[in-house]
Amino acid sequence: QLDDALDSANCGIEQDEDNARLYYARGAILCLMGLPGQALANYELAIEADPQYSMAWNNRGWASYLLGNYDVAMESLEQALELDPQNAYAYNNRGLVYLKWGEMEQAMADFQQAIDLGMKHPWAQINMINAGYMLN
């Protein structure tokens, strides 16, 4: 059904080329399809359309992380948190970058912040557990 969702996003973008949320949605679909490079391009279009869109910055960070571009990921996640300090997903994803860099205390603090902010998915809890195992 991802193909149908992608078709819907493409149709929406054809009708409203300045809609940041449609580029964001298309990026999310492409990421789920295992195409983080194409997703990244869409998150950048979303940011171009709405530079204040925190979740687009977050997902730009996530796609950059998946591509191994950790510096770009960190910059994007920092921007997401500057725009929305309550963005639990950005804390979780920044924690993953810290984890890659071996900065365990910062990673654990970010995972805890994501949990404290009520992240709807269990990713932060899982990441916290994995980071705890890495410490031992």
Q: Which pLDDT tens digit goes with each residue over 25-65? A: 999 999 999 999 999 999 999 999 999 999 999 999 999 99
Q: Is 112 exposed, middle or buried (0-12, 13-18, 19+ CB in 10 A)?
A: middle
Query: E-assigned strands of 11-116?
Result: none
Contact yes or no for 49/23 (Cβ under 8 A): yes
Pair of tokens at residue 127 = 């990441």
Is the pLDDT reported for residue 128 higher than 90? no
Query: Within 10 A of 100 (CB to CB), how many other CB atoms are there?
Result: 14
Q: What pLDDT digit, counting tens, does each position of 103-127 carry?
A: 999 999 999 999 999 988 888 999 8
Q: Give the pLDDT of residue 136.
A: 64
User: Could you give the angle at which helices 54-66 and 36-49 cross, rounded to 10 degrees?
Assistant: 160
pTM of the model: 0.90
